[in-house]
Structure 1
Amino acid sequence: MQPEHKAVAHQSLLLRSMPADDAEALLSRASVTKYDRGQTVFLQGERATAIFIVVDGWAKLYRIAPSGAEAVVGVFTKGRSFGEALAFQGDVYPVSSEAVTQCTLLRIDAEDYLRRIRETPETAISLLSATFVHLHNLVSQIEALKARTGAQRVAEFLCELAECKTGACEVVLPYDKILIAGRLGMKPESLSRAFARLKDEGVQVKQNRAKIDDIDHLRIYCEEDPAQAWMR
């Protein structure tokens, strides 16, 4: 494992609140795997035995509906983790995971994490924090589908990815915009219209990069009454 891999893992939600010695102990037994675009990480129905942290690139979680349509449950990029809760239940994955781009994933065995929880309760706190954030994000997705315009949902997605706290910033997106549309419950043409609408809010999208003039302004736009957002 390279030093840069460890640096990303330490900043992830899963490990950032964990005592440094415990995090290092976990990482010493973790493995790093590179995936090509379209390569399967795990399949729906497989036994959940590991937690993953994205070191680089993009990965997605998805389900295949009875109709054969793909429903994107979540997309994850550098520093994001997934698979936490299920891995500790000894249950199966209710979704599949696939590399959206060439990506590097850090794999932590669930048994190793459980062992750290038994030895140091602080490790359990980091797991609870990560699980809470995932739940909060799912609730936010449902709220956004019901109470926000398409442009507001895209703006919120950009705010989630932005690493800057204030001012101007840039967000790197996956090249496959269909992935973003699926994650936000939109059609590709609706996503294009949303990006066009966000130009008036200081967002410029070129290829896979979104330049945001003022992240604070964009956060305020996300929370506006949808009626006002439509009138802009």
Structure 2
Amino acid sequence: MSIRQTDLDRIRTLPLFADMTPSVFRDATAGAFLQRFPAGTTLLMEGDPVDFLYVLLDGAVELQGSWKEKEAVLAVLRPVSTFILAAVMLEAPALMSARTLERSEVLMLSGEALRRTTRQDPAFGFAVVQELAGCYRGVVRMVKAHKLRGCLERVANYLLAQSARQGDPHHIVLPYGKRVLASLLGMTPENLSRAFAQLADYGVQVRGPEIHLARPRALERLARPSPLIDNHVKAGPLPIGRAGTESLTTTPGAPPPPAPSGVSAAPRTA
């Protein structure tokens, strides 16, 4: 599908591309194309060679890993997000599979063009370094949460993070199904159900995808969130990438630090 200028304008707002000159941006996006996929479409299988950088413009994408008969959700992306950047830069096989959770629009940029641009444009090269560093710190946070916390604490901190991101201390809507959430938090759906039942003692009321937090302070005392593990950044209208969310990390109840000029804080996973 041909690329609309409005779609190019959307990825131009990503910090990864924001400092490019117009001519360099044209070179980097030469040969790019836009595709629409229905829910449940596999975009990429782990182990596949990676020829394109994917940019999610609309919908939701689940990143998965597998071993034998087991599968795990590693991340869920919302627009505007890039993914498989590390594999593109290394010309290495993908370590994750990617699947759409709902109808999605994905812009695909030539990996060869992006690697060439990285070598030629220092500003873009530094933006790539920052984005990859933000992704690395996100992985460290996830590993610490899974290794240092029990199931109940993981769910409690997830609810607090969503409360901060959605800007409501008492009511949140789960952004995806509980099967995906359970896998993302490193537990079975049965363990997730039991955790929600136990959290009723802390004022958590579950009605389908809607969660009411009647006693957020009690929930926070249980969760004991830490800025060295959690990333509670309020959503904003503009994407800032993983590097941006790392620099804007806050704890629940504290006002978010000021965003860089012209940029609002928004959670993004890459």
How far apart in 1 are the matches of 2:26 and 2:219?
37
Q: Give the letter for the 1:48 counterpart.
A: V
> Could you tell me how far 1:201 is from its partner in structure 2?
7.0
For residue 14 of structure 1, the aligned residue among 16, 41, 46 is 16
Q: Give the letter for the 1:96 counterpart.
A: S
Which runs of no fewer than 5 residues in structure 1 stay unpaired?
225-232
Contact 1:165–1:215 (CA under 8 A) maintained in structure 2: no
**Taking structure 1 as reference, are residues 164 and 60 closer, same or farther at Cα in structure 2, changes over 3 Å only?**
closer
State the identity %.
22
> Could you tell me how far 1:190 is from its partner in structure 2?
2.5
1:163-187 Cα distance to aligned partner (Å, 9 max, x none): 859665856612x321121111011
**Taking structure 1 as reference, are residues 202 and 82 closer, same or farther at Cα in structure 2, changes over 3 Å only?**
farther
1:57 equivalent in structure 2 = 59
**Taking structure 1 as reference, are residues 50 and 193 closer, same or farther at Cα in structure 2, changes over 3 Å only?**
same
**Taking structure 1 as reference, are residues 94 and 190 closer, same or farther at Cα in structure 2, changes over 3 Å only?**
same
Equivalent pairs, count: 221
2:89 equivalent in structure 1 = 88
Partner SS for 1:14: helix
How far apart in 2 are the matches of 1:154 and 1:141?
13
Alignment of 1:173-192 (within 5 A): 173-174=175-176, 176-192=177-193
**Taking structure 1 as reference, are residues 202 and 96 closer, same or farther at Cα in structure 2, changes over 3 Å only?**
same
1:11-46 Cα distance to aligned partner (Å, 9 max, x none): 445334x33534465346432211111111011222
The TM-score with structure 1 as length reference comes to 0.75
How far apart in 2 are the matches of 1:20 and 1:203?
49
Alignment of 1:210-225 (within 5 A): 221=223, 223=225
**Taking structure 1 as reference, are residues 164 and 217 closer, same or farther at Cα in structure 2, changes over 3 Å only?**
farther
> Could you tell me how far 1:111 is from its partner in structure 2?
1.0
Contact 1:173–1:210 (CA under 8 A) maintained in structure 2: no
Range with bigger deviation, 198-207 or 77-86: 198-207
**Structure 1 residue 5 and structure 2 residue 34: aligned?**
no
Alignment of 1:77-116 (within 5 A): 77-116=78-117
1:125 equivalent in structure 2 = 126
> Could you tell me how far 1:88 is from its partner in structure 2?
1.9
How far apart in 2 are the matches of 1:215 and 1:29?
49
1:75 equivalent in structure 2 = 76
Alignment of 1:163-202 (within 5 A): 164=165, 173-174=175-176, 176-195=177-196
Contact 1:50–1:109 (CA under 8 A) maintained in structure 2: yes
Which runs of no fewer than 5 residues in structure 2 stay unpaired?
227-270
How far apart in 1 are the matches of 2:20 and 2:57?
20
**Structure 1 residue 30 and structure 2 residue 16: aligned?**
no
1:61-102 Cα distance to aligned partner (Å, 9 max, x none): 222212x12122222122222101111222211222111222
How far apart in 2 are the matches of 1:81 and 1:214?
36
Contact 1:42–1:98 (CA under 8 A) maintained in structure 2: yes
How far apart in 1 are the matches of 2:127 and 2:211?
31
**Taking structure 1 as reference, are residues 137 and 222 closer, same or farther at Cα in structure 2, changes over 3 Å only?**
farther
Partner SS for 2:106: strand
Partner SS for 1:92: coil
> Could you tell me how far 1:128 is from its partner in structure 2?
1.1
Contact 1:13–1:129 (CA under 8 A) maintained in structure 2: no
